[in-house]
Copies of this chain bind each other. A is one copy, B any other.
């Protein structure tokens, strides 16, 4: 049943396959009267775009967004914002070799099992190309939340970790290197490592950390729709994500309550922030921060043995132009999903009290 929508009030629905005519979406529920700068949207899309640097896929896609409705004389009208991004690189011919092949750790087999039919070209709907639509919507969500600052960055690539607390980092460094790690030295090591991995026809995983600053207080909905539960779902819905933790996260499970509790200042801020800005599922105004785990990309530029839909063993080799490591391009996607969640709860919260 329908699973292609996200959000209750600021609601995005997306469509489109990797190699169909276009991808696109509808944002329903954006309040009227918002000045929308579409060049900012395109800038965010450009951060996610293929071919932007030497360490990402070289697929040629300009990823130009066209808005078809809902914006009039520069402002949202309260009606649905429809948009499309045409697929430039949509030739089917490159994919005949996988038409009947189940690539390991891809969605080929499970889509067939679920639907009995699939668009096999470039992964069809299961391709991460769909996330471009999320970046469009997330960019508008950010414009709705002008005060709030969303910052994602690469925190690890394989074993290489950025070891500093986010408070020690200079976020203006993030876009200065192709890895999007805000520490020049670590970024350089990561970049070299990704190049090495790529030269081996292999891939590697990594993590993205996201920090949300200047958070309004009181956002979040108990019980099932806790703010961090929806943030977790948002992140886990991004292709290749295997885990999510916020605040103290998994490390917090090893702590004692007496160490873990965040004590209040008299201005109602807290002295520490192991809670990660959320208590009881509701924001307390402190910074929200979380980590998102991405697995290594499943498409390798190596020979792999696999099976076809009849269960016969076949050999395959990745063709085309794939990312050796997904995290640099995931950074704007994580930001976009975070913005979608916060925008939705910001609007939801308008009905919380008289």
| Chain A, 237-268, CB within 8 A of any chain B CB | 237, 242-250, 252-268
User: Measured between alpha carbons, how far is A110 from B217 in the docked complex, in Å?
Assistant: 7
Task: Decide if A203 is an interface residue (CB 8 Å cutoff).
Answer: yes
Contact A2 B11 (CB under 8 A): yes
Task: Decide if A281 is an interface residue (CB 8 Å cutoff).
Answer: yes
| Chain A, 83-119, CB within 8 A of any chain B CB | 84, 102, 104-107, 109-111, 113-119
* A3-B224, A81-B15, A224-B3 known; A245-B246 Cβ under 8 A: no
* A77-B118, A232-B232, A304-B263 known; A256-B1 Cβ under 8 A: no
Contact B15 A69 (CB under 8 A): yes
CB-CB under 8 A from A204, the residues of chain B are 255-257
Task: Decide if A139 is an interface residue (CB 8 Å cutoff).
Answer: no
Contact B245 A4 (CB under 8 A): no
CB-CB under 8 A from A275, the residues of chain B are 105
Contact of A222 among B125, B263, B284 (CB under 8 A): B125
Task: Decide if A313 is an interface residue (CB 8 Å cutoff).
Answer: yes
- Minimal beta-carbon separation of A98 from chain B (angstroms): 14
Contact B105 A254 (CB under 8 A): no
| Chain A, 60-93, CB within 8 A of any chain B CB | 66-70, 72, 75-82, 84
Contact B298 A79 (CB under 8 A): no
* Segment with Cβ contacts to B, from A25-33, A41-49, A171-179: A25-33
Contact A237 B224 (CB under 8 A): yes
Q: What are 24 sample pairs from A and B whose C-beta atoms fall under 8 A apart?
A: A2-B11, A3-B28, A5-B28, A13-B13, A13-B26, A13-B28, A17-B72, A17-B77, A23-B68, A77-B119, A107-B281, A110-B217, A116-B353, A126-B222, A126-B280, A224-B234, A233-B233, A253-B296, A257-B297, A257-B299, A260-B295, A261-B300, A266-B313, A267-B311
Task: Decide if A20 is an interface residue (CB 8 Å cutoff).
Answer: yes
